Structure 1
Amino acid sequence: MSYAFPPGGLPEMDASPEGRARFTEAYAVLPANTMRDIVTSLLPGWEATRAWVLARPLSGFAETFAQYAVEVQPGGGSDTPEPDPQAQASLFVAAGSGRLTVEGRAHDLEPGHYAYLPAGTHWQIHATGEAPLQVHWIRKRYDPAPGLSAPGAFVLHERDVPLNMMPGTEKWGTQRFADPNDLRFDYHVNIVTFQPGGRIPFAETHVMEHGLYVLQGQANYLLNRDWVEVGPGDFMWLRAFCPQACIAEGSEPFRYLLYKDVNRHVPLGLYE
């Protein structure tokens, strides 16, 4: 299994700057071709590391999460990766090898590993191989709910997570890293897979915000009123109630890493 990641580098100087990048009132598309060296950030507390910041809370747009693509050079990493004590995290390894230490317990990472790290967890991560460690990192402040404790940390591999097909189809399924019935979680990160020709057969329109990073394959994706061609390494960022649908194209599965906020009442009186 392969997992896309930002290409870095720089396009040839004769390449056209006109491309597929879009930022609208309802959604944004960051094509892989826009994720180059000159748009990376260095992160305090991290050594030999650069990051593409793909999403951040924006008032009036998507407000619940931040999403990074983090590239750690061999020997690099962090003993103090998270500056916000209220932030929980999900990590998904796209390439390379590393070691994640959670409250003193070490986990060796390879492509396809997923980790959930609750707010306040002491964790460390370092690249251990000869190639860079490439990790997708999603951050969200935990929203506690009355009578519910926070979930615990866990690490697993996607090969151990079943692909649950949607009712009535064998072409659209989801691997859920957290139990969807566990109300302790206030967000989910899943891998969604469409076989060639698979589709979302209606325009989903819902309260959840989304970050979608395309891991593999090609699709024609409906975002609000627009159909957009997307492929490996493209990122889609959707605010609440943005209509969306998908038609998978090509000869291989279309797969993406999906963030969505779930399981909490809508806060009222935000603007009083």
Structure 2
Amino acid sequence: MSYHVPRGGLPPQTALTTDRARFTEAYAVIPARTLSDITVSFLPGWANTRLWVLARPLSGFAETFSQYVVEVSAGGGSGRPEYDPRAEGVLFVVDGSLTLTVGGGSQVLEPGSYAYLPPGTAWTIANQAEATATFHWIRKAYQRVDGLDVPPAFVTREQDVTPADTPGTDGAWSTTRFVDIADLRHDMHVNIVTFRPGASIPFPETHVMEHGLYVLEGKAVYLLNEDWVEVEAGDFMWLRAFCPQACYAGGPGPFRYLLYKDVNRHVAL
């Protein structure tokens, strides 16, 4: 598995300002080079840690989730990472190793590791190695439903989950699902979508789910509303509900992205 890892830094003074960055009422594109030293943020209660905020609830932007790319240096981490008792979270590690403690037990997370953390869960995370570790942290206010239990915390790995092929594509388009789609306890899915070179979404998907897409590997031409935009590893896309989307994978290797979507709940009126 290959996962893009932002390294910060700054573009040289000789770099062109022209870029693929977009911010519209229907979608946004944050190119990989935007994740530089001057766009980092810091959080209270975290040591030796910096992060890039890719999405946050905001008028005219993401409505249902936030997404960070978090970089934890040696000896860093937090004894109280989440302060909001409503927030559920998904951690997806792309570099280094981290020790996650939850439910009285500890597990080492390495590239490809995926952790689901229900709302109100006490957990800690620490980088006990010498190398920097990087992970995605997706947060959402959990929507409780009478008669449905809150799903438990769990840890798995992409390497241990068999991708599901999209029907009729002969494996050219597949999805690695970390949560059973029939499990209505979950109100968000964070999956990995993979396209072989030349594969496509052959129609403009237009649906109620909001999306966050972080390109882990490869490149493609992506339809966002009315615009075809080139994207590559390290780019982030936000798509509001009902924004038309499609893509062509460009090759020479696979095109893969980490996908957030909100699911399984009534529309608030």
- TM-score higher than 0.5: yes
Give the corresponding residue for 2:197. 196
Tell me, what secondary structure is at the counterpart of 1:129? coil
Unaligned runs of 5+ in 2: none
Structure 1 contact 62–240 (Cα < 8 Å) conserved: no
Give the corresponding residue for 1:220. 221
* Segments ≥4 residues shifted beyond 3 Å: none
List per-residue Cα deviations over 1:127-186 (Å, max 9, x = no partner).
122211100000001001121010000000101111100000120000001111100000
Q: Does 1:122 align with 2:122?
A: yes
Structure 2 contact 224–243 (Cα < 8 Å) conserved: yes
Structure 1 contact 173–193 (Cα < 8 Å) conserved: yes
Give the corresponding residue for 2:99. 99
Give the corresponding residue for 2:236. 235
Give the corresponding residue for 1:31. 31
Give the corresponding residue for 2:163. 163
Cα separation, 1, equivalents of 2:59 and 2:14: 37
Read off the aligned partner of 1:222 and give its amino acid letter: L
Tell me, what secondary structure is at the counterpart of 2:38? helix
Displacement of 1:260: 0.1
Read off the aligned partner of 1:243 and give its amino acid letter: P
Cα separation, 2, equivalents of 1:257 and 1:30: 14
Structure 2 contact 91–114 (Cα < 8 Å) conserved: yes
Q: Does 1:254 align with 2:255?
A: yes
List per-residue Cα deviations over 1:198-238 (Å, max 9, x = no partner).
10000000010000000000100000000010011000001
Cα separation, 2, equivalents of 1:111 and 1:129: 14
Give the corresponding residue for 1:186. 187
Structure 1 contact 115–154 (Cα < 8 Å) conserved: yes
List per-residue Cα deviations over 1:111-132 (Å, max 9, x = no partner).
0000000000000001122211
Displacement of 1:79: 0.5
Structure 1 contact 76–127 (Cα < 8 Å) conserved: yes
Tell me, what secondary structure is at the counterpart of 2:62? coil
Structure 2 contact 222–231 (Cα < 8 Å) conserved: yes
Structure 2 contact 196–251 (Cα < 8 Å) conserved: no
Read off the aligned partner of 1:29 and give its amino acid letter: V
Cα separation, 1, equivalents of 2:36 and 2:61: 24
State the aligned residue count. 268
Question: What's the Cα RMSD here?
Answer: 0.7
Read off the aligned partner of 1:70 and give its amino acid letter: V
Give the corresponding residue for 2:14. 14
Structure 1 contact 7–33 (Cα < 8 Å) conserved: no
Give the corresponding residue for 1:133. 133
Cα separation, 2, equivalents of 1:15 and 1:7: 17
Cα separation, 2, equivalents of 1:250 and 1:154: 34
TM-score, with length taken from structure 1: 0.97
| Identity between Structure 1 and Structure 2 (%) | 66
Give the corresponding residue for 1:72. 72
Displacement of 1:6: 2.2
Read off the aligned partner of 1:240 and give its amino acid letter: A
Read off the aligned partner of 1:11 and give its amino acid letter: P
Read off the aligned partner of 1:56 and give its amino acid letter: R
TM-score, with length taken from structure 2: 0.98
Structure 1 contact 7–32 (Cα < 8 Å) conserved: no
Tell me, what secondary structure is at the counterpart of 1:159? helix
